[in-house]
A and B are shown apart, each in its own frame.
Chain A
Amino acid sequence: MNWMYSLPLYVVHILIIPLLLIGFIRKVKARLQNRRGPSILQPFWDIAKMLSKAETISKTASGTFRMAPMVNLSAVFTAALMVPWLGVPSPIAGDLFLVVYLLAAGKFCIGLAALDTGSAFGALGASREAAVSIHAEPALVLGLAALAVHAHSSKFSTLLAGTPGNELTTILAALVVVAAWVAVIADLSRMPVDDPTTHLELTMVHEALILENSGRNLALIEYAVALKTSILLGLIGQIILMGAPRHSIGTTYLLTLLLLAIATVVLAVSETVFVKLGWKRVPNLQSFGTGAAILACLLVALKG
């Protein structure tokens, strides 16, 4: 299936799924906390509202602050076109390292923007986010690299193909899922690493990072985060599907959506039952992910 078809497909999903996902998470959480919660479509209205507002920008800020969200979004968007997170071959045949570094590029811009306002909170958030990704990125890359070595290629298309029925693949997939999940949680700064709903600046990670952003500017960032969430969760879904026997593209697509839904539920549950970890203990959590990734590598090294 060439990009003529997949590109519009992906673009459409990119426009819809992320915000839907966020809304869904919020909804599930609310339900788990015995609240009715806002409608699933609330994020759309939020974004629309923010887009219709002019932003308030710190006097200190320079061009970086104004451009960064845009660059970040375009990086995440491009990444979204490269990862087969829908179970459908991606319009651009993405490469594992390329995608990871692309996302890192986005992070770099946002970090700069946070420092641009001279706000202590922004810088705090930036430095914490950097510290988190010191663990998260290697874990993710190691896990995927194990798959890549297994498949002799770092292209997502081949790397995620796997060989059904091969128990090695299954175990590998399981390990990598663990690694990726922990990494993703941390990278998206969700519970228990970070509490996206907190209102105390000192405990924030991502929220502190974007504390200064408002209006348009904030909308772009929020949307980018949502998109990133869906990409990474979709990717994890693909890894889970590796073990499963092959199906037609259509079924895979449906399975992926299902998995996405499940992932959001899991996310919501975990965010309800877990409390936020103390900052000093975050590395301990992440070391589980790294450990799983290294185990996967060991497995590949021995058996592959």
Chain B
Amino acid sequence: MFPSSASITIPLTLAAFLWMAAPLAALFSARDTNSRRWSVLFFLGALCVLLAGIDCFGHPPVRIVLPAPLGLGPCRFAFRCDPLSGWFLGVIGGVSAMIAPYLRGYCAHIRARVDMRLFWCALSGLAMSMALVVLAANALTFLVVWELMSLTSFLLVATDHEPRANRRAALIYLAATRFSTAFLAVGFLWTHALTGSWEFGAWRLAGPAALVPGLFVLAGLFIKAGVFPFHLWLPIAHPSAPSPVSALMSGVMVKVAIAVLVRLFVIDPAFTNSAFGILIVVLGAISALWGVLFALVQHDLKRLLAYHTVENIGLILMGAGIAILAGSHGPSLVAQIALAAALFHVLNHALFKSLLFLGAGSVDVGAGTRDLDRLGGLAKSMPWTFGFFTLGAASICALPPFNGFASEWLLYQSFLGSACGSTAPIHRFGALLLIGLLCLVGALAVACFTKAVGVVFQGMPRSVGAQKAHEATSGMIVSQAALAASCVILGLSAPAVLGILQVITAPLPVAGANLLAAWNLPFGALVTSLVITLLAGRVWLRHSQSRLPEREFITWECGFGALGPRAQVAATSFVQPIASMFCVVLQYAQSLESVGENARLFPDELTAHATTEPVLETRVYGPAARWLVQIGDQILKFQAGSIHLYLLTMVVTLLILLAIGGSMK
């Protein structure tokens, strides 16, 4: 297909060596090894992958086939390096590299409980397999590395396996990912039956023929990407994993599924059918709304972030789906914009979500809890973490001028474009509604992160842990600083990024203008104005403060005397107005119980409860799982222990078989 080139294989093999050999060395060290060299090696491996990703843009697509005897029966280990995989290699390598400094500081507080050797192995294995998944060129290679990715990430989720909840989470995650593999397998097998090839490149199914295999593949990818209604594992697994792992999984791993989706459905697609486009857009929209709504009502900081991953995956899918739909009407710039938006958001989300997870990890380490109702006032004790977390929050809320806004603006443009471009009223209206929905999601995200940042870092500490909180170690801060910086830089240098994305989205047919022309935001002017006003304001503030120093006093308390932390608004009460608007989706219910004789008029104490119920988990998946377990319980009764029964079964079987044999002619 393509000539094998050396230039890319070098960094890849180097990364493979660093990521595989080093942790294997770790295997032979102490159980609680946490030496700096492991994170350094991880960092170097990540850099190599980053280089490889950059290199992918350098030359026409390259095909690498591993030498014999390595192979998978019918086909060989084959990898394809093209701009698309380059982009994702960049994401994987970049984020891993930026997470690396964080590892040692964080692991210091889990090393006592967990087997660090396993941790290092699994971590490097995860990074490596992610890199290979985006490179895989045929179905079998893909499945092998895909499953490797699942198993290593499972081990990472199960790193701290002594709490029961973590075990449960890990196993739920494993179950989900296994079903995703099963779906993919069925899809691939069916495609092979139709096309007779295992090569992704050779798959060309269109129209009704593409429907069945395409749907199976999509289902598999959706499970991995945590798309509604398959997202259940995501908010369960992420909180249980160590924070850097959550960052890697939520920031990067779920995107790997997106990479495959783009490769198989968008850029010279294997499965062509506009129905896929509609399905992807619709599910994306639902996931976005569903994710942000449930994020709003979470108490666990990391679970909140996990639900936001569902939301952002939804946004990315909307882009991809629009790209498919717009492309299906013939060449159009909209398709390119939409795909660019999706890919750009992939990168952005990888950055700020990792940043936020690292921040959550620092909070966890510093204050000893992730429960929003036990945190508060960390801004004073953890200023750095606070700053970076807030910046991450601003980016994920797509506030200009940070990177989140750039990609969401492109998304808006693609909706606008498809609303203008299409002639079918239903499409136009749908696209317009998507704009509204995106805006709604944005507003909800802002509300959610006002709550998150405010409750965690502002106000008074709500627990002893939060009072005693301490700032994270320097390494951890460096990681967050790097991620935060890249968030800002990417936001400001969006045109440059679009230049790169132009190369990736080139395969999509375009009429006329190019991608860069679509970017017509006065970003420079915006930033200048912001900077000037802020600087001016700062100077003026300094000056006037020196003139009239501020006075400190207690918060206004209606004259009852100084308020305690419990007088503050808690996370639950903050979101109450919004949650009660969406009570149907959230199954949001409030209850007020008053205790004491004559409780109605003069209650001794009042307790307010607000409960939400993740409908899918409690009404669909839970019952299904219980049902399966019950079957598993009942079915063992077949082995009743009585030999007479067994013999009788044999006779009955004999008669049945005889009947069948006799009935045949």
| Contact, CB under 8 Å: A293 / B526 | no
Total A-B residue contacts, Cβ distance less than 8 Å: 251
Interchain nearest-CB distance for A90 vs B (Å): 10
Mark each residue of chain B from 572 to 606: 1 if its CB lies under 8 Å from any CB of chain A, else 0: 01111110010000000000000000000000000
Interchain nearest-CB distance for B261 vs A (Å): 26
Contacts of B486 in A (CB 8 A): none
How far does the alpha carbon of A224 sit from the alpha carbon of B577 in the complex, in Å?
26
| Contact, CB under 8 Å: B533 / A111 | no
How far does the alpha carbon of A73 sit from the alpha carbon of B413 in the complex, in Å?
27
Query: Which residue of B409, B428, B439, B455 contacts A142 across the interface (Cβ within 8 Å)?
Result: B439
B553, CB-defined interface residue at 8 Å: yes
| Contact, CB under 8 Å: B450 / A298 | no
How far does the alpha carbon of A292 sit from the alpha carbon of B525 in the complex, in Å?
33
Query: Which residue of A59, A115, A298 contacts B458 across the interface (Cβ within 8 Å)?
Result: A115
A269, CB-defined interface residue at 8 Å: no
Closest residue of chain B to A69, judged by CB? Answer: B537
Counting chain A residues whose Cβ lies within 8 A of the other chain, the interface size class is 35 or more
Counting chain B residues whose Cβ lies within 8 A of the other chain, the interface size class is 35 or more
| Contact, CB under 8 Å: A101 / B442 | yes
Interchain nearest-CB distance for A77 vs B (Å): 5
| Contact, CB under 8 Å: A59 / B553 | yes
Contacts of B447 in A (CB 8 A): 127, 130-131, 133-134
Contacts of A124 in B (CB 8 A): 569
How far does the alpha carbon of A64 sit from the alpha carbon of B538 in the complex, in Å?
13
B412, CB-defined interface residue at 8 Å: yes
Query: Which residue of B379, B394, B435, B451 contacts A62 across the interface (Cβ within 8 Å)?
Result: B379
| Contact, CB under 8 Å: B552 / A142 | no
How far does the alpha carbon of A61 sit from the alpha carbon of B413 in the complex, in Å?
40
Interchain nearest-CB distance for A295 vs B (Å): 11
Query: Which residue of A74, A78, A111, A302 contacts B425 across the interface (Cβ within 8 Å)?
Result: A302
| Contact, CB under 8 Å: A116 / B459 | yes
Interchain nearest-CB distance for A298 vs B (Å): 6
Contacts of A62 in B (CB 8 A): 377, 379-380, 457-458
Contacts of B577 in A (CB 8 A): 127-128, 130-131, 279
Contacts of A28 in B (CB 8 A): none
| Contact, CB under 8 Å: A57 / B552 | yes
B400, CB-defined interface residue at 8 Å: yes
B390, CB-defined interface residue at 8 Å: yes
| Contact, CB under 8 Å: A115 / B459 | yes
| Contact, CB under 8 Å: B521 / A148 | no
Interchain nearest-CB distance for B469 vs A (Å): 13
Contacts of B450 in A (CB 8 A): 108, 111-112, 115, 126, 130
Query: Which residue of A130, A155, A212 contacts B446 across the interface (Cβ within 8 Å)?
Result: A130
Which of these binds chain A: B52-60, B174-182, B280-288, B542-550? B542-550
| Contact, CB under 8 Å: A112 / B428 | no
Mark each residue of chain B from 348 to 384: 1 if its CB lies under 8 Å from any CB of chain A, else 0: 0000000000000000000000000000110110000
| Contact, CB under 8 Å: B459 / A60 | yes
Cross-chain pairs A/B with CB under 8 angstroms, 28 sampled: A57-B550, A57-B553, A63-B379, A78-B530, A81-B529, A91-B525, A94-B522, A95-B522, A97-B409, A97-B412, A100-B439, A102-B526, A107-B446, A108-B394, A112-B450, A118-B568, A123-B573, A127-B451, A130-B447, A131-B581, A133-B446, A134-B443, A146-B432, A149-B420, A212-B556, A294-B436, A297-B436, A301-B425
A residues with a Cβ closer than 8 A to B are: 51-60, 62-64, 66, 70-71, 73-75, 77-78, 81-82, 91-95, 97-98, 100-102, 104-105, 107-108, 111-112, 114-121, 123-124, 126-128, 130-131, 133-134, 137-138, 141-142, 145-146, 148-149, 152, 154-155, 201, 211-212, 215-216, 220, 279, 283, 293-294, 297-298, 300-302, 304
In order of increasing CB-CB distance, the 9 nearest A-B pairs are A115-B454, A123-B569, A54-B548, A74-B533, A118-B459, A301-B429, A131-B577, A130-B447, A301-B428
Given contact pairs A74-B529, A297-B432, a sample of 6 additional A-B residue pairs in the complex whose CB atoms are under 8 Å apart: A54-B551, A101-B398, A123-B568, A127-B447, A152-B420, A301-B429
